Structure 1
Amino acid sequence: MLKRRHGSSVVVGLKRHRSSVVGLLLPHDAVELILERLPVESLLKFKSVSKNWKSTIESRCFKERQLIRRKQSRGPDVLLVPLTWSCDGTDAESIALGSSIVSTVRLPTSSGSRICHGSCDGLLCLYCVYTPSVVVNPATGWHQTFPLSNLQLLCLDMYDKPEDHDFFPMPNLGFGRDKFTGTYKPVWLYNSSHFGLPNATTCEVFDFSTNAWRYVHPSPPHRIYDFITPVYLDGSLHWLAEGEEDTKVLSFDLHSETFHVLCKAPFARDRFPFSHNMFILDNRLCVSEQDSSTQVI
């Protein structure tokens, strides 16, 4: 009976103090290496094991290492993201995520929403010029809506007075991360002349810490091709911009919040704009040029 009681008490002790036993058997560095290999769904559950595990999983360094390991060990998490408008009167967008497991995330967004180019650390940013935008984590279903920018208020004013304008500009929102502070930043960059504003362009950045938009000065002196989606890479957002002789690649550093011309795009201006696009290939910024029935990079 004593052995059985002793044996049962050991089993109970292991169940009640599992994290303590694991901590005694393995150093914390080894535990971190194991956790890095787990999917997001498991990490969310293991945050409740102990305060030490919760602190580790929520740390920025761990998130960055886990993201790198996932990219190295598997293909893209999201292969296809179609947007569908709900017909049941709930006024919500439905996002179907195609990966190893197909899932659907419902969001409080309006009809006509678009997705910023690519994803940033697994986060997607959906926007519409007439309604509040939203950032979503498809893996967990978490999402956060942020308020209208000054640009969107101008678009709403134009929508209410269509007789004053021949067309409605449709700028594209950029979304990226300051790689030094880890802060995520939505960015509007648009041609000022469409709204009767001075300067060539106007730039607005959203600050999640203050939940407010703010202007960035100075904005670039080169008009952008605002129908081409900005692309995020390595802490910067990139646009194609007009030049006197050549098309330019314009870069915005999300840490210093400054613009500079990255390079002159290697193609003739007179063939631009509708035959070109920007994208990321092997962690490099690329521009594609469509020539008749062929497409070259």
Structure 2
Amino acid sequence: MEWRNLPTDLVENILSRIPAMTLARFRSTSKQWSAILKSTSFAKMHTAKAPKREDESLNIMLIDSNVFQVRISLGAPYVKVANNPFYLKDPLSNSSQVGVLNVFHCNSLLLCTTKDKRLVVWNPCSGETTWIKPRVIYRESDYYALGYTYDSKSCSNQYKILRVDLHKDVPPNNEYEIYDFTSNTWRILGVATDWFLALYRRGISVKGNTFWIATQAWSPHNNFLLSFDFSAEMFQSLSLPRPFPYSILALSVVREEQLCLLSLTNKELQVCVTTSTGSWSQLLVLDLTFQYEISSSQFSKGMSFLADKQSKVVRCLNSDNVLSTVQENKDIQVNRLGRGKRESITHDNFESSSVLLNYAPSLTQTQQDYTRKRKSPST
């Protein structure tokens, strides 16, 4: 019997057991398969039935305005960047690829700001995109975050986008609003005046909520952990590890479940993670005293990192596309990626950083039952 003659429910059952990255290549097989892969019900079925293989867990990087798949070994510092980037198609020009300025990762979805000031939610595995029209206008200095709440009625995640309009006022005047995919509209939430975010501070999504390292607006201007709860649609202040780290470098996430903090203290690279009770525990401490030369750019503002407790490895990607592998009792290994020192995109003396992320491929969608694909808005 030919595939096209099989009942749809049987085709869905078979396809739901194929790994996501392999399945993504089947979109052009037939109109029937393409429709199946785009459906919300199939995405849920695939999440439940698809094999969870170790080789399906990979890394992605934002390098030179493109998103690449990257393979990094756990043992030797081997790095292989895919020859071709994931293709983010420009709906305003069928022959053009969109340049990505920055990415925010949440549950296999990427919230991307583009070089031409547009905003899109993109699943690089399935190729699905949703372009978001601004309420007024997007700015390069805006902070964006993608998060979700769980809807018990539909047994699915309801996605939202947070936008924080950072004004230069003193004291701060941080206007923030939310985009809800169920209504396709922005809602103004309020103004925050008691904290500010440095432009190089990258937000991290953990279990649907977002976290940043923020600074108190009032003296003594201490750093603290700022979170945004997408269910309550409000900000919260949380504590950092004690004793307070000398130099906080970046936030990351472990297994999509634990918030991870990287700091540099007296020639030690320290990694802490949050516990189930909300406290902090030490994940790794790597001694750097035996390193003869450590470039200041290796651990710099705007960097991103991944930590692996089992192999005791920390990998840091800086804004010049230099990937540093720090491992216990070994020299720091350096891999130069992309075009080396990348093309700068600057505003207020800030350069958009390259980004290193864990990525678990899936067919996650932004509630397509409610969302319709639209042409990309101009700004």
Q: TM-score, normalised by structure 2?
A: 0.51
AA of the residue aligned to 2:261:
V
Counterpart in 2 of 1:96? 68
The answer (yes or no) to whether the contact 1:278–1:287 under 8 Å persists in 2 is yes
What is the alpha-carbon distance in structure 1 between the residues aligned to residue 158 and residue 24 of structure 2? Answer: 23
Counterpart in 2 of 1:254? 230
Counterpart in 1 of 2:39? 58
Tell me by how many angstroms 1:296 deviates.
Answer: 0.2
C-alpha change, 1:70 and 1:281, in structure 2 (3 Å) is farther
Moved more, 278-287 or 206-215: 206-215
Question: Between Structure 1 and Structure 2, how many residues are aligned?
Answer: 243
Tell me by how many angstroms 1:251 deviates.
Answer: 1.9
What is the alpha-carbon distance in structure 2 between the residues aligned to residue 210 and residue 74 of structure 1? Answer: 37
Counterpart in 2 of 1:10? none
Identity rate of aligned residues, in percent? 16
Residue 19 (1) aligns with residue 6 (2) = yes
Tell me by how many angstroms 1:135 deviates.
Answer: 2.0
Select which of 42, 49, 52 maps to 1:72: 52
The answer (yes or no) to whether the contact 1:82–1:97 under 8 Å persists in 2 is no
Select which of 107, 116, 120 maps to 1:121: 107
Counterpart in 2 of 1:279? 252
Q: Secondary structure at the match of 1:131?
A: coil
What is the alpha-carbon distance in structure 2 between the residues aligned to residue 251 and residue 103 of structure 1? Answer: 35
Counterpart in 2 of 1:179? 150
C-alpha change, 1:33 and 1:230, in structure 2 (3 Å) is same
Select which of 204, 227, 232 maps to 1:231: 204
Tell me by how many angstroms 1:144 deviates.
Answer: 2.9
AA of the residue aligned to 1:288:
L
Per-residue CA deviation, residues 97-123 of structure 1 (Å, 9 max, x unaligned), is 33697643144376571112xx32322
AA of the residue aligned to 1:202:
E
Residue 291 (1) aligns with residue 245 (2) = no
* Structure 1 stretches of 4+ moved >6 Å: none
The answer (yes or no) to whether the contact 2:17–2:51 under 8 Å persists in 1 is no
Q: Secondary structure at the match of 1:216?
A: strand
The answer (yes or no) to whether the contact 2:174–2:191 under 8 Å persists in 1 is no
Tell me by how many angstroms 1:260 deviates.
Answer: 2.2
The answer (yes or no) to whether the contact 1:238–1:250 under 8 Å persists in 2 is yes
Tell me by how many angstroms 1:137 deviates.
Answer: 1.9
Tell me by how many angstroms 1:234 deviates.
Answer: 0.8
Q: Secondary structure at the match of 2:24?
A: helix
AA of the residue aligned to 1:260:
Q
What is the alpha-carbon distance in structure 2 between the residues aligned to residue 177 and residue 186 of structure 1? Answer: 8
What is the alpha-carbon distance in structure 2 between the residues aligned to residue 74 and residue 296 of structure 1? Answer: 27
AA of the residue aligned to 1:264:
S
Tell me by how many angstroms 1:233 deviates.
Answer: 1.1
5+ unaligned residues in a row in structure 2: which ranges?
Answer: 72-79, 91-96, 272-379
C-alpha change, 1:173 and 1:209, in structure 2 (3 Å) is same
What is the alpha-carbon distance in structure 2 between the residues aligned to residue 290 and residue 71 of structure 1? Answer: 38
Select which of 1, 26, 41 maps to 2:24: 41
Counterpart in 2 of 1:163? none
Matches within 5 A, 1:193-208: 194=168, 196=169, 200-208=173-181
What is the alpha-carbon distance in structure 2 between the residues aligned to residue 71 and residue 218 of structure 1? Answer: 45
Q: Secondary structure at the match of 2:196?
A: coil
The answer (yes or no) to whether the contact 1:202–1:219 under 8 Å persists in 2 is yes
Per-residue CA deviation, residues 195-221 of structure 1 (Å, 9 max, x unaligned), is x49865321222344444332136474
Larger Rg: 1
Whose strand fraction is larger, Structure 1's or Structure 2's?
2
AA of the residue aligned to 2:61:
V
What is the alpha-carbon distance in structure 2 between the residues aligned to residue 191 and residue 50 of structure 1? Answer: 41
Per-residue CA deviation, residues 70-95 of structure 1 (Å, 9 max, x unaligned), is 583234554233343xxxxxxxx643
